[in-house]
Protein backbone atom coordinates (compact mmCIF):
# COMPACT_ATOMS: atom_id res chain seq x y z
CA UNK A 1 0.00 0.00 0.00
CA UNK A 2 1.37 3.37 -1.02
CA UNK A 3 1.03 6.69 0.80
CA UNK A 4 2.21 10.18 -0.12
CA UNK A 5 2.96 13.31 1.86
CA UNK A 6 4.50 16.66 1.07
CA UNK A 7 7.46 17.59 3.24
CA UNK A 8 8.78 21.08 2.64
CA UNK A 9 9.22 21.21 -1.16
CA UNK A 10 9.45 17.45 -1.71
CA UNK A 11 6.90 14.68 -2.10
CA UNK A 12 7.66 11.56 -0.07
CA UNK A 13 6.28 8.26 -1.29
CA UNK A 14 6.15 5.27 1.03
CA UNK A 15 5.18 1.73 0.09
CA UNK A 16 4.42 -0.73 2.89
CA UNK A 17 4.04 -4.49 2.92
CA UNK A 18 3.27 -6.51 6.05
CA UNK A 19 5.52 -9.33 4.93
CA UNK A 20 8.31 -7.38 3.23
CA UNK A 21 8.50 -4.16 5.21
CA UNK A 22 8.54 -0.69 3.70
CA UNK A 23 10.49 1.56 1.36
CA UNK A 24 10.30 5.32 0.85
CA UNK A 25 11.76 7.94 -1.46
CA UNK A 26 11.36 11.68 -2.03
CA UNK A 27 10.62 13.45 -5.32
CA UNK A 28 10.25 17.02 -6.53
CA UNK A 29 6.74 16.39 -7.89
CA UNK A 30 3.87 14.11 -6.94
CA UNK A 31 3.58 12.47 -10.37
CA UNK A 32 7.10 11.04 -10.09
CA UNK A 33 6.37 9.83 -6.58
CA UNK A 34 3.22 8.01 -7.73
CA UNK A 35 5.02 6.42 -10.68
CA UNK A 36 7.86 5.19 -8.46
CA UNK A 37 5.41 3.79 -5.90
CA UNK A 38 3.57 1.80 -8.58
CA UNK A 39 6.84 0.22 -9.68
CA UNK A 40 7.70 -0.74 -6.10
CA UNK A 41 4.24 -2.27 -5.56
CA UNK A 42 4.57 -4.29 -8.76
CA UNK A 43 8.01 -5.55 -7.75
CA UNK A 44 6.66 -6.59 -4.35
CA UNK A 45 3.87 -8.56 -5.99
CA UNK A 46 6.22 -10.37 -8.38
CA UNK A 47 8.87 -11.05 -5.74
CA UNK A 48 11.52 -8.89 -7.42
CA UNK A 49 11.68 -6.36 -4.59
CA UNK A 50 14.28 -6.83 -1.84
CA UNK A 51 14.39 -4.56 1.20
CA UNK A 52 17.56 -2.65 2.02
CA UNK A 53 19.41 -3.26 5.26
CA UNK A 54 17.25 -6.30 6.05
CA UNK A 55 19.86 -7.35 8.63
CA UNK A 56 18.95 -4.24 10.59
CA UNK A 57 15.28 -4.94 11.06
CA UNK A 58 14.53 -4.14 14.70
CA UNK A 59 14.96 -1.25 17.12
CA UNK A 60 17.59 -3.40 18.82
CA UNK A 61 19.53 -3.77 15.56
CA UNK A 62 19.44 -0.01 15.13
CA UNK A 63 20.71 0.69 18.64
CA UNK A 64 23.42 -1.97 18.38
CA UNK A 65 24.77 -0.42 15.19
CA UNK A 66 24.66 3.03 16.82
CA UNK A 67 26.59 1.59 19.77
CA UNK A 68 29.17 0.01 17.47
CA UNK A 69 29.65 2.80 14.93
CA UNK A 70 28.75 6.13 16.55
CA UNK A 71 29.05 6.12 20.32
CA UNK A 72 32.73 5.01 20.57
CA UNK A 73 33.81 8.18 18.75
CA UNK A 74 31.95 10.56 21.05
CA UNK A 75 33.66 12.56 23.75
CA UNK A 76 31.46 11.08 26.50
CA UNK A 77 31.60 7.55 25.13
CA UNK A 78 31.94 5.59 28.37
CA UNK A 79 28.69 6.67 30.09
CA UNK A 80 26.79 6.44 26.81
CA UNK A 81 28.04 2.90 26.25
CA UNK A 82 26.69 1.95 29.69
CA UNK A 83 23.32 3.53 28.90
CA UNK A 84 23.08 1.80 25.54
CA UNK A 85 24.00 -1.60 26.96
CA UNK A 86 21.23 -1.17 29.51
CA UNK A 87 18.81 0.03 26.84
CA UNK A 88 19.54 -3.01 24.68
CA UNK A 89 18.17 -5.21 27.48
CA UNK A 90 14.71 -3.63 27.08
CA UNK A 91 13.45 -6.60 25.07
CA UNK A 92 9.88 -5.38 24.62
CA UNK A 93 11.10 -2.30 22.75
CA UNK A 94 14.24 -3.71 21.13
CA UNK A 95 12.37 -6.55 19.41
CA UNK A 96 9.96 -4.25 17.60
CA UNK A 97 10.56 -4.13 13.85
CA UNK A 98 11.53 -0.70 12.60
CA UNK A 99 8.76 -0.82 10.00
CA UNK A 100 6.23 -1.42 12.77
CA UNK A 101 7.64 1.09 15.30
CA UNK A 102 5.10 3.76 16.19
CA UNK A 103 5.06 6.64 18.69
CA UNK A 104 2.96 4.64 21.16
CA UNK A 105 5.70 2.01 21.44
CA UNK A 106 8.18 4.62 22.63
CA UNK A 107 5.57 6.28 24.83
CA UNK A 108 4.97 2.95 26.56
CA UNK A 109 8.72 2.58 27.12
CA UNK A 110 8.87 6.16 28.44
CA UNK A 111 6.11 5.54 30.97
CA UNK A 112 7.97 2.49 32.26
CA UNK A 113 11.44 4.04 32.26
CA UNK A 114 10.37 7.26 33.97
CA UNK A 115 9.99 5.30 37.20
CA UNK A 116 13.80 5.29 37.33
CA UNK A 117 13.87 9.08 37.15
CA UNK A 118 13.16 11.80 34.62
CA UNK A 119 16.80 12.31 33.71
CA UNK A 120 17.50 8.62 33.01
CA UNK A 121 14.38 8.46 30.85
CA UNK A 122 15.41 11.60 28.96
CA UNK A 123 18.85 10.16 28.20
CA UNK A 124 17.33 7.00 26.70
CA UNK A 125 14.79 8.85 24.58
CA UNK A 126 17.46 11.22 23.27
CA UNK A 127 19.62 8.26 22.27
CA UNK A 128 16.72 6.56 20.51
CA UNK A 129 15.87 9.75 18.65
CA UNK A 130 19.49 10.36 17.64
CA UNK A 131 19.94 6.80 16.40
CA UNK A 132 16.81 6.99 14.25
CA UNK A 133 17.95 10.29 12.71
CA UNK A 134 21.45 8.91 12.08
CA UNK A 135 20.04 5.85 10.32
CA UNK A 136 17.91 7.98 8.02
CA UNK A 137 20.37 10.78 7.27
CA UNK A 138 23.82 9.18 7.42
CA UNK A 139 23.20 5.50 6.75
CA UNK A 140 20.49 5.94 4.13
CA UNK A 141 17.99 3.61 5.77
CA UNK A 142 14.48 3.77 4.37
CA UNK A 143 12.73 4.80 7.58
CA UNK A 144 9.64 6.91 8.01
CA UNK A 145 9.32 10.01 10.19
CA UNK A 146 11.07 9.75 13.53
CA UNK A 147 8.40 8.59 16.01
CA UNK A 148 10.40 10.06 18.90
CA UNK A 149 9.55 13.55 17.65
CA UNK A 150 5.86 12.88 18.24
CA UNK A 151 5.94 11.93 21.92
CA UNK A 152 6.35 13.97 25.09
CA UNK A 153 9.72 13.91 26.81
CA UNK A 154 9.73 14.08 30.61
CA UNK A 155 10.55 17.41 32.19
CA UNK A 156 14.02 17.89 33.59
CA UNK A 157 14.48 17.33 37.30
CA UNK A 158 15.32 20.43 39.34
CA UNK A 159 19.08 20.84 39.89
CA UNK A 160 20.47 18.93 42.86
CA UNK A 161 21.34 21.06 45.85
CA UNK A 162 22.98 18.40 47.98
CA UNK A 163 25.91 19.37 50.17
CA UNK A 164 27.80 17.44 52.79
CA UNK A 165 25.92 17.52 56.07
CA UNK A 166 27.39 17.69 59.53
CA UNK A 167 29.51 14.65 60.28
CA UNK A 168 29.29 13.14 56.79
CA UNK A 169 32.84 14.01 55.77
CA UNK A 170 34.22 12.38 58.90
CA UNK A 171 32.11 9.27 58.26
CA UNK A 172 33.41 9.07 54.69
CA UNK A 173 37.02 9.36 55.87
CA UNK A 174 36.41 6.70 58.55
CA UNK A 175 34.90 4.39 55.92
CA UNK A 176 37.92 5.02 53.66
CA UNK A 177 40.21 3.90 56.47
CA UNK A 178 38.34 0.59 56.62
CA UNK A 179 38.74 -0.24 52.92
CA UNK A 180 41.74 -1.42 50.93
CA UNK A 181 40.70 0.71 47.93
CA UNK A 182 43.62 3.13 47.89
CA UNK A 183 42.14 5.78 45.64
CA UNK A 184 38.87 6.58 47.44
CA UNK A 185 40.21 8.99 50.05
CA UNK A 186 42.43 10.89 47.55
CA UNK A 187 39.52 11.11 45.08
CA UNK A 188 37.17 12.60 47.67
CA UNK A 189 39.73 15.17 48.80
CA UNK A 190 40.59 15.98 45.19
CA UNK A 191 36.94 16.45 44.17
CA UNK A 192 36.12 18.85 47.00
CA UNK A 193 39.35 20.82 46.85
CA UNK A 194 39.53 21.27 43.06
CA UNK A 195 35.80 21.28 42.06
CA UNK A 196 36.72 18.99 39.15
CA UNK A 197 34.27 16.56 37.59
CA UNK A 198 34.88 12.86 38.09
CA UNK A 199 35.74 12.43 34.41
CA UNK A 200 38.24 15.30 34.63
CA UNK A 201 39.93 13.82 37.69
CA UNK A 202 40.21 10.39 36.10
CA UNK A 203 41.69 11.79 32.89
CA UNK A 204 44.23 14.00 34.68
CA UNK A 205 47.83 13.20 33.70
CA UNK A 206 51.02 13.84 35.63
CA UNK A 207 52.52 15.78 32.74
CA UNK A 208 49.75 18.36 33.10
CA UNK A 209 50.39 19.05 36.78
CA UNK A 210 52.54 22.06 37.61
CA UNK A 211 53.61 21.57 41.22
CA UNK A 212 55.70 24.75 41.32
CA UNK A 213 52.76 26.94 40.28
CA UNK A 214 50.19 24.82 42.16
CA UNK A 215 47.93 24.20 39.19
CA UNK A 216 46.73 21.46 36.86
CA UNK A 217 45.85 21.67 33.17
CA UNK A 218 42.71 20.05 31.81
CA UNK A 219 43.28 19.95 28.02
CA UNK A 220 39.78 18.65 27.29
CA UNK A 221 36.68 19.41 29.34
CA UNK A 222 32.92 18.97 29.10
CA UNK A 223 32.45 22.33 27.37
CA UNK A 224 35.28 21.66 24.92
CA UNK A 225 37.66 24.23 26.38
CA UNK A 226 40.88 23.66 28.26
CA UNK A 227 41.39 25.26 31.67
CA UNK A 228 43.90 25.55 34.47
CA UNK A 229 42.68 24.49 37.90
CA UNK A 230 44.42 25.89 41.00
CA UNK A 231 45.65 23.27 43.47
CA UNK A 232 45.40 23.95 47.18
CA UNK A 233 48.31 23.13 49.54
CA UNK A 234 46.27 20.14 50.73
CA UNK A 235 46.06 18.78 47.17
CA UNK A 236 49.75 19.41 46.54
CA UNK A 237 50.63 17.44 49.67
CA UNK A 238 48.26 14.69 48.57
CA UNK A 239 49.82 14.46 45.09
CA UNK A 240 53.27 13.98 46.59
CA UNK A 241 52.06 10.81 48.32
CA UNK A 242 50.56 9.16 45.21
CA UNK A 243 52.48 6.63 43.10
CA UNK A 244 53.63 7.66 39.64
CA UNK A 245 53.52 4.28 37.97
CA UNK A 246 51.11 5.43 35.26
CA UNK A 247 50.75 8.52 33.08
CA UNK A 248 47.40 9.17 34.75
CA UNK A 249 47.18 10.36 38.32
CA UNK A 250 44.26 8.02 38.99
CA UNK A 251 44.64 5.04 36.59
CA UNK A 252 41.20 3.60 37.29
CA UNK A 253 37.94 3.32 35.36
CA UNK A 254 34.75 5.27 35.84
CA UNK A 255 32.88 2.03 36.53
CA UNK A 256 35.32 1.10 39.30
CA UNK A 257 34.85 4.48 40.95
CA UNK A 258 31.06 4.23 40.77
CA UNK A 259 31.04 0.79 42.37
CA UNK A 260 33.59 1.69 45.06
CA UNK A 261 31.77 4.92 45.86
CA UNK A 262 28.43 3.15 46.32
CA UNK A 263 30.00 0.63 48.69
CA UNK A 264 31.79 3.36 50.61
CA UNK A 265 28.66 5.48 50.97
CA UNK A 266 26.70 2.52 52.30
CA UNK A 267 29.50 1.62 54.70
CA UNK A 268 29.44 5.21 55.97
CA UNK A 269 25.66 5.05 56.40
CA UNK A 270 25.06 8.06 54.14
CA UNK A 271 21.89 8.31 52.04
CA UNK A 272 21.45 10.13 48.74
CA UNK A 273 24.98 11.44 48.28
CA UNK A 274 26.43 11.20 44.78
CA UNK A 275 30.09 11.60 43.94
CA UNK A 276 29.19 14.60 41.77
CA UNK A 277 27.78 16.29 44.89
CA UNK A 278 31.37 16.67 46.07
CA UNK A 279 31.91 19.06 43.16
CA UNK A 280 28.86 21.01 44.34
CA UNK A 281 30.38 21.12 47.80
CA UNK A 282 33.68 22.38 46.45
CA UNK A 283 32.12 25.14 44.34
CA UNK A 284 30.02 26.33 47.28
CA UNK A 285 33.18 26.47 49.37
CA UNK A 286 34.89 28.64 46.78
CA UNK A 287 32.16 31.24 47.23
CA UNK A 288 32.41 30.90 51.00
CA UNK A 289 36.13 31.66 50.76
CA UNK A 290 35.31 35.03 49.20
CA UNK A 291 35.88 34.40 45.50
CA UNK A 292 33.60 36.18 43.02
CA UNK A 293 31.59 34.60 40.21
CA UNK A 294 34.24 35.21 37.52
CA UNK A 295 36.93 33.56 39.65
CA UNK A 296 34.78 30.54 40.43
CA UNK A 297 33.79 30.18 36.77
CA UNK A 298 37.47 29.96 35.87
CA UNK A 299 37.94 27.16 38.42
CA UNK A 300 34.76 25.17 37.80
CA UNK A 301 34.60 25.52 34.03
CA UNK A 302 31.04 26.84 33.93
CA UNK A 303 30.43 29.00 30.87
CA UNK A 304 27.71 31.29 32.21
CA UNK A 305 27.21 33.08 35.51
CA UNK A 306 23.60 31.89 35.70
CA UNK A 307 24.82 28.32 36.10
CA UNK A 308 26.52 29.31 39.34
CA UNK A 309 23.70 31.26 41.01
CA UNK A 310 22.38 28.19 42.82
CA UNK A 311 25.81 27.62 44.34
CA UNK A 312 25.70 31.08 45.86
CA UNK A 313 22.50 30.04 47.64
CA UNK A 314 24.06 26.75 48.70
CA UNK A 315 27.01 28.65 50.13
CA UNK A 316 24.64 30.31 52.58
CA UNK A 317 24.19 26.98 54.37
CA UNK A 318 26.48 25.99 57.21
CA UNK A 319 29.78 24.71 55.78
CA UNK A 320 31.38 21.48 56.91
CA UNK A 321 35.03 22.04 57.75
CA UNK A 322 37.56 19.86 55.96
Q: Which residues are catalytic?
A: 197, 222, 276, 279, 302, 311
Residues 6+ apart with CB under 8 A from 284: 163, 311, 314, 315, 317, 319
Geometric angle at alpha carbon 228, from 212 and 316, rounded to 5°: 105
Q: What span, in angstroms and rounded, lies between the C-alpha atoms of 186 and 264?
A: 13
The DSSP bridge partners found for residue 165 are: none
Question: Phi/psi of residue 209, each to 5°?
Answer: -105, 125
Sheet with 10-17: list strands edge to edge: 2-7, 10-17, 21-27
Nearest-angstrom CA–CA distance, 93 and 107: 10
CA separation for the pair 36, 39 (Å, rounded)? 5
Amino acid sequence: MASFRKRNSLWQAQVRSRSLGSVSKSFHNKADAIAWAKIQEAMMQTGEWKPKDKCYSTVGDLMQKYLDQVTPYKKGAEPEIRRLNRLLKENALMQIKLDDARPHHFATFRDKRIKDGNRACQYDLVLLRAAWNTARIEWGWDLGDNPLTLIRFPKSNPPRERRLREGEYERLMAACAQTKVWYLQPLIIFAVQTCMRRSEILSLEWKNIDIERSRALLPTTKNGRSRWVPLSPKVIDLLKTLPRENERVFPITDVAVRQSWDRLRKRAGIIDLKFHDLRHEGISRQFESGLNIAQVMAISGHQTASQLFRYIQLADTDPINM
